[in-house]
Amino acid sequence: ISTKSRDDVNRLFAERYKHWKSDLHHHFQAYDDPQVALQEGCPKELEGREDSWEWLCAHFQAPEFANKAQVNKGNRKKKTLLHHSGSRPFSYRMDARRGVQVPEIDVFGDVYVRPGNELAESLHTTMVERSQLVLQESASQLPPETPIESVAPPQDAGFQILTETLDQTLGRRPGTYCRGMGNARRREPRPRSSAVFTSGHCFDSTYGHS
């Protein structure tokens, strides 16, 4: 197995474990009394492994975990946009869109836009309109009979449109511009979040994470 395949499998397993553990934590929190949760709340998937449920109940009550969970809950409330990517890494979505003229904007629409989310819909519409202007500008430099669908946008155009639209609407993010990263910025180390890595670029989901 190649190193990339192994890393992909490990990353997928880590994401699945994180979501599974989160589901168990929500199940634990459904009980008002931790002792009742311990005695009566063992989920079916852990039947026969009650010692694992006992460990989880103790783990969920540990100060370090409880404090971290409270901080994460507060951070989620501050999010302007919530993504709906689930456990599937953004990089997989980018790979599936090879050949698309502006895949970053397509991924944004797939991950963030949902019925009733007017902000995400407005942002996506603006991105699409800007991408069309870029494609039209590129097409103007080609033979007149060239169809717009065959026009290749400038390198990093989709990523720059995405980051500029988010910055202009939600405010500039802290950090310094990085050579080779379009309008992305290098930030101080922070807890990991879902990201798109493509051609040396990183689309971080700081603007929203579920």
Give the span between the Cα atoms of 195 and 210, in whole angstroms: 13
Predicted pLDDT at 77: 66
Range ranked top by mean pLDDT from 5-14, 68-77, 170-179 = 5-14
Q: Is the pTM of this model over 0.75?
A: no
Predicted pLDDT at 144: 87
pLDDT per residue over 137-192, tens digit each?
999 988 988 888 888 888 889 889 998 998 888 876 555 444 333 344 444 444 44
| Domain boundaries defined on the chain | 3-78, 90-207
pLDDT per residue over 15-44, tens digit each?
788 888 888 998 999 999 999 999 999 999
Predicted pLDDT at 178: 43
Q: Angle CA(197)–CA(147)–CA(130) in degrees, nearest 5? A: 50
Helix (H, G, I), strand (E, B) or coil at 196: strand
